[in-house]
Chain A
Amino acid sequence: MRSDSLALRLSGAALLIASTALPALAQDVTLRLVAPASAVGDALEQLAQTYAAETGGVTFTVQKFPSGDSYGQAVVTQIQSGAAPDLIYTNAGYGRLESLMPLAQAGHLADLSAGAWVADFPESARDVYYDGEALYGLPLSLTSVGLIHNTAMMERLGIAYPETEEDFFAACATAAGQGVSFSSASGAFPYYIVETIAAAKVYAETPDWNARRRAGEVSFATTPGWAETFATFARMAEEGCFQRGFEAASVPDLFAAMAGEQGATNVGPVTLAGAVLRMNPTLSLAVGPWPSGENTVALGFYNDALSVAAGSPNLDAALGFIDWLAEPEQQRAFTAIAGGTARADVAEGTFPAMIERLAPYYSAGEIVGLPHTGWTRLEVLDTLSRGATQIVTGQATIDEVLAALDAAWDAGE
């Protein structure tokens, strides 16, 4: 990695020192990468080390922060205090502090659209990675979202994979009759369940619902699919589909419930299945679509992304690393550690056995992105999570929650 500007700046100094020292100085670039302390962070760290070993002169400082809210906080505070790292793990679209769209729109991310890999950019992710013609992240892998299910446990319970919602509720009754819960939920963060149901009830019919909401053509309150979505969630709670006490459960409680086989299924991202398997490797887990009969669709989104800070003093070196990371070999190395499906594999139509039930939808192009990645304001997602719990705990009606969602959406305007 030879940086021209660096070489220029150093040329003056180079006259004063022995000429043999020059190459070493000119190539000495250290890239700082921030990532969450999770499998994703581990994968990025390993790949960075591989790259550093293969490419002389580039070294990495990898800073990890606890995944969850604190990661986003760390990123934002680093950026706002003028100490932005060179490389930032980001998320697609909007919806989190580390989401790339708000960062990009505030001018903190570099445009990557000149990279050679851009030619095979996945079309379904265009909305949540591009702002106009500028591209702000390298999609690292496709994260599937769906009904994570313990296949052996379902067999023991005598439950076949549900095809319709009525099948699902029947399964809840069957499981409850045998002293376990068919599914589980976290009262603090139930948004995966709600959004997965909404994918079938709202987005299957209106794929551009988010864009139309932004344009003010539709609203939560006037879209019957949203009311139906919350009604379905409330029915799941009412008919005992979730574990007892789910109202107070946190997300790690869900991992534990599945790992301990108190629950047979869980709606969430495939990464959750990975976390459960780390706790209990003997389980056989698979991911399928939310059962919605004719309307069944598969959720999948390129959530994990790597972005480059706009103000990076080592821009060329950082872009070089992105180009290398975009190669199929590195994509697969990443997913081997972090989970998910490599872009190259999606393009070829080869999917891991775990998401077999989703593969036909993906191959047919029936991919719905995670709804909230297209919501510009974080509070809308928060309102959705709280609202779902408020409905099942009797603190609010569906109509009130829909109104609150619209109010949260419009709050900043």
Chain B
Amino acid sequence: MNRPSALNTFGRELGALALALLWCVPFYYLAIVSLKPMSEIFADPVGFPDQLAFANYAEAWRGTMGVSLGQAMLNSLIVTIGSVVAVIALGSASAYVIARNGRRMGTLLFFFFVIGIILPHQLSVVPLYSVMRQIGLVGNQLGLIVLYSGLMTPMSVFLYSGFVRTLPADYEEAAEVDGASRGRIFLKVIFPLLAPVTGTVAVMVGMVVWNDFFIQLIFLSGSPAQTLPVAVYGFVGEFSARWNLVFAAVFVSVVPILAFYLLAQKQLIKGFTGGIK
């Protein structure tokens, strides 16, 4: 494929461009409708706005039920970062134990963790809710961090295990000879070597937690700790059909993740596709 004909390439370019434009249609409407004044929303929902109503954003930003979108965004950020940090700690240590603990024990532990990836949490959510409610972990960020740490650990163990297995033990043996403790070896030698997969775990877990709706709806709705998806859902419930306000809120809610995506595009895609060669 080194020397494709110029015409061929041009054709592909044109095709790709056309498809990309089609793909952008929802983004286009997201942008223009969010700027439409109320008067145009019912009369001409589809056309380009005659005047740009930036006030929609001010109204959307206020959110509903006393939780502004800014507050919701902060809540989402706290939950996401907290969960990512906890999951990295739990996953990397467990994967290390799995990889360095004899074949039978290692395999057993591996499956013990990885089955959790497939079990849909729809079933576990009800008993979890009851218990967490009793110990005061419903309606606040800490509860969600604890919950996601639990739910996302299998995925991180899976990702870490695949990597740790391929790490030769030479480094550790060298460090051990130097008299370093195991904890120190892990922190100073192993964990840094895991950096690429740590990135993958951070991206995957971060995205799942940031965008998850089902659990956040059940655990946070109505609370001041509600996250972006819950806040947007509540907002749409209240302002449905006033598409300009809804879209302003949706736009605000997707800006952080899109911005993150633009900045860290390569790492992010790599994070998703890390397992493929």
Do A and B originate from a single complex? yes
- A83:B239 contact, CB within 8 angstroms: no
Give min CB distance, B127 to chain A, whole Å.
10
Binds B, one of A52-60, A61-69, A191-199: A61-69
Give min CB distance, B84 to chain A, whole Å.
27
* Complex partner residue of B240 from A74, A78, A80, A253, CB under 8 angstroms: A253
* Complex partner residue of A260 from B42, B65, B134, CB under 8 angstroms: B42
- A65:B222 contact, CB within 8 angstroms: yes
- A252:B221 contact, CB within 8 angstroms: no
A80 to B129, CA, bound (A): 10
* Complex partner residue of B130 from A80, A252, A253, CB under 8 angstroms: A80
Check: B257 CB closer than 8 A to any chain A CB.
no
- B133:A77 contact, CB within 8 angstroms: yes
Majority SS at the chain B contact face: helix
A70 to B221, CA, bound (A): 7
Max chain A C-beta neighbours (<10 A), residue from B42, B217, B221, B239 = B221
Classify chain B: how many residues form its interface, as a range: 10 to 19
Give min CB distance, B130 to chain A, whole Å.
4
- A70:B222 contact, CB within 8 angstroms: yes
A354 to B43, CA, bound (A): 29
Chain A residues near B218 (CB-CB < 8 A): 73
A71 to B223, CA, bound (A): 12
A178 to B162, CA, bound (A): 68
Give min CB distance, A70 to chain B, whole Å.
5
Q: List B residues 76-118 near A (Cβ within 8 Å).
A: none
A255 to B240, CA, bound (A): 9
Check: A270 CB closer than 8 A to any chain B CB.
no
Q: List A residues 230-276 near B (Cβ within 8 Å).
A: 250, 252-253, 255-257, 260, 262
- B222:A66 contact, CB within 8 angstroms: yes
- A81:B42 contact, CB within 8 angstroms: no
Check: A37 CB closer than 8 A to any chain B CB.
yes
Max chain B C-beta neighbours (<10 A), residue from A66, A252, A260 = A66
Closest chain A residue to B226, Cβ basis: A66
Check: A82 CB closer than 8 A to any chain B CB.
yes
A247 to B121, CA, bound (A): 32
A66 to B230, CA, bound (A): 11
- Given A73-B218, A77-B133, A81-B129, check contact A64 B42 (CB 8 Å): no
- Given A73-B218, A256-B240, A257-B241, check contact A81 B133 (CB 8 Å): yes
- B222:A252 contact, CB within 8 angstroms: no
How many residues of chain A have a CB within 8 Å of chain B?
24
Give min CB distance, A106 to chain B, whole Å.
15
Closest chain A residue to B230, Cβ basis: A66
- A77:B130 contact, CB within 8 angstroms: yes
Chain B residues near A80 (CB-CB < 8 A): 130
- A77:B129 contact, CB within 8 angstroms: yes
Closest chain A residue to B243, Cβ basis: A256
- B42:A74 contact, CB within 8 angstroms: no
A71 to B239, CA, bound (A): 18
Chain A residues near B42 (CB-CB < 8 A): 260, 262
- A63:B222 contact, CB within 8 angstroms: yes
- B65:A66 contact, CB within 8 angstroms: yes
Check: B270 CB closer than 8 A to any chain A CB.
no
Chain B residues near A74 (CB-CB < 8 A): 221-222
Chain A residues near B240 (CB-CB < 8 A): 250, 252-253, 256
**Interface membership of chain A positions 175-212, coded 1 if the CB is closer than 8 angstroms to chain B and 0 otherwise:** 00000000000000000000000000000000000000
- B134:A81 contact, CB within 8 angstroms: yes
A267 to B129, CA, bound (A): 37
- A252:B239 contact, CB within 8 angstroms: yes
- B65:A64 contact, CB within 8 angstroms: yes
* Complex partner residue of B237 from A65, A66, A262, CB under 8 angstroms: A66
Closest chain A residue to B136, Cβ basis: A83
Sort A-B residue pairs by CB-CB distance and give the 8 closest, nearest first: A256-B241, A65-B222, A252-B240, A81-B133, A81-B130, A253-B241, A260-B42, A70-B221
A interface residues with partner B (beta carbon < 8 Å):
37, 63-66, 68, 70-71, 73-74, 77-78, 80-83, 250, 252-253, 255-257, 260, 262
6 contacts between A and B (CB under 8 A): A37-B64, A37-B65, A74-B221, A77-B130, A252-B240, A252-B241
